[in-house]
């Protein structure tokens, strides 16, 4: 497997959304895509790496190496509304909501 600093090929197709990646991969049997795990669904096959399946516990533990973090980025001071949203997402109820959508909770 390549290093974490490896670059994406200049020949790779880049899409603006998970949906666009899913559509390309679904329609090309030779395609490989990188998208949110919760959106893979039954039509696509998730990649097993070194015998490790892309499941939530393996992602959280670091055993599954192909991940992308979700970042909250704000401009200037965080507003009260933004802080409430971030606090909710990080709360047990927010983490449960993320899991229901097929996303991986934080540690």
Q: Could you read off the pLDDT of 15-60 as tens digits, one per residue?
A: 888 889 989 898 998 888 888 887 887 888 888 999 999 888 898 8
Domain annotation covers residue 63: yes
**Domain presence at residue 25:** yes
Q: What's the predicted TM-score (pTM) here?
A: 0.66
Supply the range of the domain harboring residue 83.
18-100
What is the distance between the terminal CA atoms of the chain, rounded to a whole angstrom? 25
Residue 80 near residue 14 (C-beta atoms within 8 A): no
Is the distance from CB of 22 to CB of 33 less than 8 angstroms? yes
Q: Is residue 7 part of a domain?
A: no
Residue 50 domain flag:
yes
Q: Is 9 inside any structural domain?
A: no
Q: Looking at the domain assignment, is residue 31 inside a domain?
A: yes
Residue 74, helix vs strand vs coil: coil
In a domain, 13, yes or no: no
- DSSP state letter for 91: S
Number of domain units in the chain: 1
In a domain, 3, yes or no: no
The residues, ordered by sequence, that sit 6+ positions from 38 with a Cβ below 8 Å of its Cβ are 101, 102, 103
């Amino acid at each position: 497997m390549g290093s974490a600093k490896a670059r994406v090929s200049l020949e790779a197709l880049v899409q603006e959304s998970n949906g666009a990646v899913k559509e390309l991969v679904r329609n090309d049997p030779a395609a490989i895509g990188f998208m949110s795990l919760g959106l893979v669904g039954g039509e696509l096959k998730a990649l097993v790496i070194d015998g490790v399946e892309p499941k939530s516990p393996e992602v959280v533990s670091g055993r599954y190496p192909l991940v992308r973090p979700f970042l909250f980025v704000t401009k200037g001071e965080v507003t009260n509304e933004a802080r409430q949203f971030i606090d909710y997402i990080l709360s047990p109820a927010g983490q449960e909501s993320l899991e229901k959508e097929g996303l991986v909770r934080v540690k």
